[in-house]
Amino acid sequence: MWRRRIDAARRDPKVVGGSGLCDTEQEDVGVKAAVKKQTLSINQNATKIGSSVVIEGELTGQQDLIVDGRVDGIIRLPDHVLTVGRNGRIKADVIARTVIVLGAVTGDIRAIEKVDLRESGSVDGNIVSPSVSIIEGAHFLGSVVMEQAESVCLSDAKSKALIRK
């Protein structure tokens, strides 16, 4: 029989050369690292609405937005990413470039690029987007219309009329 030799410095993949310094690069590999990097790049320049904040009315902006609080009304971010955090509760019609749902959305969503409904997410409303991803365990009640980006990009007046139908 053969016996595998284990180098003491290599037992923990975080230890580099036995120096005790952590190498976090080795920890993040493959798909998990790609998702983590994508999430970080989306959220680095984002504005965050905290869990104790309640907004009623129309919300517009020129940067990415993370909602962990409550928003009632309309959210318009046609050139940016809207992330509904795990604590986020939205009762609004949404127009954004990309929508990522980890919390709850009640209302219609129009996304120019994609809608990503994660396992803890919930959407009660219609989705119009060229790309829709619904992870197992997510809650969705409504309809999905997968239109090309040109069709989703509507003028404000036309989108108000269509989103309220």
Along the 165 residues of the chain, how does pLDDT read in single tens digits?
A: 555 555 555 444 443 444 343 444 444 455 444 444 444 444 568 899 999 999 999 999 999 999 999 999 999 999 999 999 999 999 999 999 999 999 999 999 999 999 999 999 999 999 999 999 999 999 999 999 998 766 665 544 444 444 444
pTM beyond 0.85: no
Tokens 């040109």, located at residue? 150
Cβ atoms of 67 and 52 within 8 Å: the answer is: no
Residue 104 · residue 84 · CB < 8 Å: yes
Q: Are 90 and 75 in contact (CB under 8 A)?
A: yes
Do 59 and 74 form a contact (C-beta atoms < 8 A)? yes
Nearest to 71 by CA among 47, 97, 39: 47
Give the closest residue to 112 by CA, choosing from 84, 88, 132: 132
Element (H, E) at 163: helix 156-163
